[in-house]
């Protein structure tokens, strides 16, 4: 089975829900605790074995490319001052030569269009899609869990999780067939429904922020057929491919933080601060002091 080596990260969004925080800083470079959201997502990908990251960018997002590049002046300054621990932390997020590509999405035409923009770099092999708004705290990481499922069953793997009670109608919901592994958390998929009317949901599991897709998805996306909101939807292309190749839904074991939302970003900051092995206890004490006021 061809291994999953490449990941597509659509980062061209404007961050409408968290403005004005993202007015001058790309939304995915906003911090969660000690580093940008995007750095956490890339670290998850690297831990899962991803060798090449394809960033789908828009105008004014050159800072994303700079972040994963070397910063010679900063490195020299830290080294000359003997701040070696900070230097190593800065260098840990760097990607090596040939490990990243940047593709410009000329117009905001939807997630499906963003993924389609990566077609020439992905080529004829399975690949991951990582939505950088979604921090998925898990051990092993959500993408590693998805790749392990792909290695077991092949085809396409969509990471899903339970919708909040009574809110399934707000999400893209999957219809499931039989369970095939991972203690009943990996099942065949028979369909997908976008925001089904209350009471008609085929399950309570919604499509989350990680996918393993086969290259045939580009055939479906190449028609550039607009869907909901007049955008080219990835789920529409997945539904087409569902007729000709297998899809599986993986209910991953972890917690998701939607960092495209102000409250979700706050939750992520608190959660990542509390789990930091060096400063977590101090962060907990600081939060308790604030709440006691």
**Partners of 194 in beta bridges:** 172
Q: Are 88 and 75 in contact (CB under 8 A)?
A: no
What pLDDT band is residue 232 in, cutting at 50, 70 and 90? Answer: confident
- Pick from 240, 189, 245: nearest CA to 214: 245
**249-265 residue pLDDT tens:** 999 999 999 998 999 99
**100-130 residue pLDDT tens:** 999 999 888 899 999 999 999 999 999 999 9
Three-state SS for 142-176 is HHHHHHHHHHHHCCEEEEEEECCCCCHHHCEEEEE
What is the pLDDT at residue 130?
97
**DSSP character for 253?**
S
What is the pLDDT at residue 66?
92
Q: How does the average pLDDT of the chain come out, rounded?
A: 92
Alpha carbon distance 43, 9 (integer Å) = 13
Alpha carbon distance 275, 273 (integer Å) = 6
Q: Are 250 and 185 in contact (CB under 8 A)?
A: yes
Q: Tell whether the torsion through CA atoms of 129, 259, 280 and 74 is positive or negative.
A: positive
Query: How many helices and strands, by DSSP H and E, does the chain display?
Result: 11, 13
Token pair of 165 as six digits: 């009670």
By DSSP bridging, strand 52-57 and strand 35-36 are: unpaired
Q: Class of the 6-291 domain?
A: alpha beta
Alpha carbon distance 29, 282 (integer Å) = 25
pTM of the model: 0.92
What is the pLDDT at residue 29?
93
What is the pLDDT at residue 39?
96
Domain extents in the chain: 6-291
Half-sphere exposure of 246 (CA within 13 A, CB side): 15
Lowest mean pLDDT, pick from 17-21, 173-177, 265-269: 17-21
Lowest mean pLDDT, pick from 11-15, 89-93, 200-204: 11-15
Alpha carbon distance 277, 250 (integer Å) = 29
Q: Are 168 and 196 in contact (CB under 8 A)?
A: yes
């Amino acid at each position: 089975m061809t291994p999953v080596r490449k990941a597509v990260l659509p980062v061209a969004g404007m961050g409408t829900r968290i403005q004005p925080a993202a007015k001058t800083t790309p939304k995915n470079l906003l911090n969660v605790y000690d580093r940008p959201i995007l750095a956490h997502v890339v670290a998850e990908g690297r831990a899962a074995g991803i060798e090449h990251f394809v960033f789908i960018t828009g105008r004014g997002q050159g800072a994303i490319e700079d972040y994963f590049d070397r910063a010679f002046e900063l490195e020299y300054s830290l080294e000359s001052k003997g701040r070696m621990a900070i230097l190593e932390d800065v260098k840990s997020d760097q990607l090596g030569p040939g490990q990243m590509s940047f593709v410009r999405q000329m117009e905001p035409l939807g997630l499906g269009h963003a993924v389609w923009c990566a077609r020439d770099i992905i080529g004829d092999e399975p690949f991951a899609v990582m939505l950088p708004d979604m921090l998925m705290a898990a051990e092993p990481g959500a993408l590693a869990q998805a790749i392990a499922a792909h290695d077991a069953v092949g085809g396409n793997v969509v990471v899903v999780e339970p919708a909040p009670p009574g809110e399934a109608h707000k999400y893209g919901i999957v219809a499931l067939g039989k369970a095939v592994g991972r203690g009943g958390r990996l099942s065949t998929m028979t369909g997908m429904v976008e925001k089904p009317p209350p009471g008609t949901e085929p399950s309570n599991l919604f499509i989350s922020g990680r996918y393993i897709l086969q290259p045939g998805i580009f055939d479906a996306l190449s028609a550039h057929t607009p869907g909901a909101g007049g955008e080219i939807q990835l789920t529409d292309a997945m539904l087409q491919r569902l007729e000709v190749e297998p899809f599986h839904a993986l209910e991953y074991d972890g917690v998701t933080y939607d960092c495209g939302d102000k409250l979700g970003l706050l939750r992520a900051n608190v959660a990542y601060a509390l789990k930091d092995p060096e400063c977590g206890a101090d962060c907990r004490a600081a939060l308790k002091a604030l709440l006691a006021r």
